Amino acid sequence: MTAAPAHPTVEASATRPTAIAWLRTVLGLAAVLVVAAGALRTIDAVPTLAMGVARGVRRVDSLAAIERYTTQRMPVPMYFPDTLGWPPSDLLVFGGSSASMWFRQRHSRETWLIVAMGVGQDRVAPEVLPSVTSLQTEPTSVRSVPGTVDRLRDADGVTWYQLVWRSPHATWLVRYRGTLDDAMLIANSLDQRGR
Amino acid sequence: MLDTLGLLILYGCVAACLVEALLRIWRVRDPGERLALRGLSLVAPLLLPGVFYVLAPARSADAFGSTRALFAGDHWNQLAVGGVGVASLATVALAVAGALLYLRDAVPFLGDTVGGLADHDAIETHPALGPLRQLLDQLTPLVLAPPMALVLLDRAWPVLLCSGVDRPTLVISTGTLDRLDHDQLRAALTHELAHAARRDPLTSWLLMVVRTLAWFSPATQVVARQIVQELEYRADVAVAGVGDSLALGRTIAALADAPDTQSDLAAPRTPGALWRRMMARAERAAIGDRCEGVLTQPVPMRSGLGPLRVGLAGLGLALLLFFVV
């Protein structure tokens, strides 16, 4: 048998890429990356959807866990209306910098008070708070620090009062469903030293 | 520890899926390019975590996972089954699967290495040795292979392998010679010489090293097997390049039909339990596909885009995995 020519081959048969081949290469990669990113994002959202919290929010079971994630002591109000139940019904952390405590009314399942902080931030991440519509904002003073007081309406049409103020290393927030006076008392009584 | 294993497993899965999709969308047929892309999906998941850790340490912070990441494995640990996070459970399950896939190939590999196929029952004198040596020397320049040592085994079943990391050796048995005609033997030897020309035995060892390092990653184990198939495809293409496709197809069929064949040109037979029979059926289907490919597909042309594609795939993979924590 006569041997066929050595390697007619693969090396000799390279083609010059056309503009369409270049375009197909780039577009193909872009399409695969977009689909892969979308799939990863969707899969990532499943646990938080199942738990009923925003994406990236971690539900923890103790104040100590909040403090571990945020490396900041979470203040607890020293003025705590009798109508509210202890311990908090929900403790949420987002991104290692924002955290919130949710308190229910003692004899109902409804949330009445939220205390939150944003460490090293000029705001508390909205992911750890329920969505609301702002009705009115006014300047005020909390613990001798300039802040704001907001009147809010939640998805059920209930009115809340929200106080926000800042310290050099954190932003603090109290959102209360009762009277503005009680909200002010709660905010002014927030203290880390008592814990 | 479990988190790191989970991340490496996840990276392996993402890389394998991404490269598989690119191979199909780009319709890559050039064996060298296919191998490079598969190699990328094998190595990148093991190297990138270290690179990311050094270049972007802020990625490990909780804030990155919550705000910027496309996927954070930790989020899945918030769902618990029996007090254990789903991500941790999935990591353990996948690591067990990876270990089983690893052992399935590592045990026979070690057995061959320890037991040895070549040296202890080689025949020094046999009438077939001279013509075999002559044919081998005649074919060697056709595929630009280095000179190969020849070991003939006195065994009734077919043995045909290219072995030797530093000194390529063709191991063949009398059972192989009895079953193949001249053209088939020529095609089979060309195939094994093509392995030697590309130092595929060394690649096989390196693959086993990577598989051992990533024993827990099912994707790594699967991709390593795919790379072995790509090595076979590349050797098949080399045979097609010298015009012996038809004979090679007949060789693959002949060796696959013989009992107890030990050759990369045929899948091993594994009768017995149901899953073994299922595996054997799948392997026979793969042999059929391979024969069909050898006989019907033209020798693939290089697209000229190979290095660009591999580079782009690497960049794309790194970009995607950067946002997976």
Computed over every residue of chain A, the mean pLDDT equals 86
For residue B245, is pLDDT > 70? yes
User: Phi/psi of residue B149, each to 5°?
Assistant: -75, 160
At residue A28 the predicted structure's pLDDT band, cuts being 50, 70 and 90, is very high
A62 and A48 in one domain?
A: no
Asked if residue A46 and residue A82 are part of one domain, the reply reads no
Question: What distance in Å separates the CA atoms of residue A80 and residue A86, rounded to the nearest whole number?
Answer: 9
Residues A26 and A106 reside in one and the same domain: no
Task: Give the pLDDT confidence of B266-289 residue by residue, as tens digits.
Answer: 754 444 566 666 767 777 777 777
In this complex, the residue of A1, A14, A29 whose CB is nearest that of residue B302 is A14
What sign has the CA pseudo-torsion A119, A120, A123, A127?
negative
pLDDT over threshold 60, residue B135:
yes
Which residues, in sequence order, are CB contacts of A131 under 8 Å at separation 6+? A154, A155
State residue B36's pLDDT score: 95
Same domain, A38 and A111: no
Tens of pLDDT, residues B176-233: 998 899 999 999 999 999 999 999 999 999 999 999 999 999 999 999 999 998 999 8
Q: Are residues A161 and A136 in the same domain?
A: yes
User: Are B144 and B175 a contacting pair, CB within 8 Å?
Assistant: no
Whether the CB-CB separation of A32 and A25 falls below 8 Å is answered with no
Partner-chain contact B71 A41, CB within 8 Å: yes
Highest averaged pLDDT of the listed ranges A57-61, A121-125, B7-11: B7-11
Question: Once rounded to an integer, what is the mean pLDDT over residues A51-71?
Answer: 87
In DSSP terms, which residues pair with A172 in a beta bridge?
Answer: A117, A165
Residue-wise pLDDT for B12-53, tens only, equals 999 999 999 999 999 898 889 999 999 999 999 999 999 999
Residue A5 is assigned to a structural domain of this protein: no
Q: Which spans in chain B are helix H?
A: 2-25, 31-55, 62-63, 73-76, 86-115, 129-139, 174-179, 182-197, 200-213, 218-241, 245-257, 274-296, 306-322
Whether residue A108 sits in one domain with residue A167: yes
Q: B160 by DSSP, 3-state: which?
A: strand
User: Residue A41 is inside which H or E element, if any?
Assistant: helix A19-51
Domain that holds residue A99: 57-191
Q: Residue A9 pLDDT > 50, yes or no?
A: no
Calculate how close chain B gets to A57, using CA atoms only, in Å.
7
**A99 with A28, same domain?**
no
Instruction: Sketch the domain layout of chain B as residue ranges.
Output: 2-322
Long-range contacts of B130-134 (CB under 8 A, 24+ apart): B132/B172, B132/B177
Q: Are residues A28 and A104 in the same domain?
A: no
- Asked whether residue B265 carries a pLDDT value surpassing 60, the answer given is yes
- Identify the residue among A44, A59, A71, A90 best suited for mutation to test binding to B, counting B beta carbons within 10 A and taking the highest: A44
Nearest-Cα residue of chain B relative to residue A19: B305
Q: Rounded to an integer, what distance in angstroms lies between the CA atom of residue B16 and that of residue B39? A: 10
Residue A12 has pLDDT above 50, yes or no: no
Average pLDDT over residues A91-114: 91
- Say how many domains are in chain A: 2
Could you tell me if residue A6 is inside a domain?
no
Q: Are residues A35 and A115 in the same domain?
A: no
Do A21 and A94 fall within a single domain?
no
Q: What is the pLDDT of residue A11?
A: 46
Instruction: Flag whether residue A27 sits within 8 Å of chain B, measured between CB atoms.
Output: no
Assigned domain for A17 exists = yes
- Complex ipTM value: 0.83
Q: What is the pLDDT of residue A71?
A: 86
Q: What is the CATH number of the domain that holds A67?
A: 3.40.1000
pTM comes to 0.79
Clarify whether residues A116 and A173 are in a common domain: yes
Confidence at residue A8, expressed as pLDDT on a 0 to 100 scale: 43
Same domain, A170 and A77: yes
Could you tell me which of A28, A15, A20 has the C-alpha nearest to residue B26? A28
